[in-house]
Amino acid sequence: MAEQKSNLLEEMKKQCDEYLAGWQRAKADYENLEKQFVRDRAELIKNANEDLILSLLPTLDNFEKARAHQPDISSCSAEDQKLISQWMEGVQNIYKQIFEALRQIGLERMEVLGKEFDPNTMEAVEQRKVDGKGDNEVVEEIVPGYQFNKKIIRPARVAVNKN
């Protein structure tokens, strides 16, 4: 009888250990699934942000073109000059706000002017001979390049010096 109780106790302990091991595996699987869900969600958000930023880059380009081609208002009246200047300043501020919001989520404009041409981050669309500049030096940024979270999403299109 004591031996039967001992065997029964041993069997129950073995069964209890099996249940515990199964529960621990299930718990570990669940925790791994939760971690994977968090990673997948973060990746989804990152990709959605990248798609949004890519769709906004032409708008940023157009803002920059507008800023670069400000009208000559010297022949306007003082009152009109003031109004036009205020309007242009407002446009500048809108551009800065948009770019700052994008910068805060990971967008960076690549600085390329004066640097040596790098085919990993730039696309040469023009060659020029410019005195006083080094061979393969970027002499003009034609279209800005951008990185999003350190990933190049658009290479800079540049003019490169060729001696």
Q: What is the pLDDT of residues 74-95, one digit of tens each?
A: 898 999 999 999 999 998 999 9
Residues 1 and 27: their CA atoms lie apart, in Å, by 38
pLDDT at residue 60 above 90?
A: yes
- Go through 18-34 and write b for each residue having 16 or more CB atoms within 10 A of its CB, e for each that does not: eeeeeeeeeeeeeeeee
Say what the pTM is. Answer: 0.72
How many Å apart are CA 99 and CA 56, to the nearest integer? Answer: 10
Rounded to 5°, angle at Cα 91 from 89 and 92:
60
Domain spans of the chain, in order of start: 1-69, 72-105, 108-163
Q: What is the pLDDT of residue 5?
A: 78
Percent of the residues in the chain that have a pLDDT greater than 90, as a whole number: 74
pLDDT at position 46 over 90: no
What is the CATH T-level fold of the domain 108-163, as seen in this structure?
A: Nucleotide Exchange Factor Grpe; Chain A, domain 2 (2.30.22)
Q: How far apart are CA 76 and CA 84, in angstroms?
A: 9
Look at residue 137 and tell me whether its pLDDT is greater than 80. yes
- For residue 104, give both structure tokens: 């805060």
From CA 21, how far away is CA 116, in angstroms rounded? 60
DSSP state at residue 137: B
- The residue whose two tokens read 């979270």 is 149
Q: Tell me what the mean pLDDT of segment 55-84 comes to.
A: 90
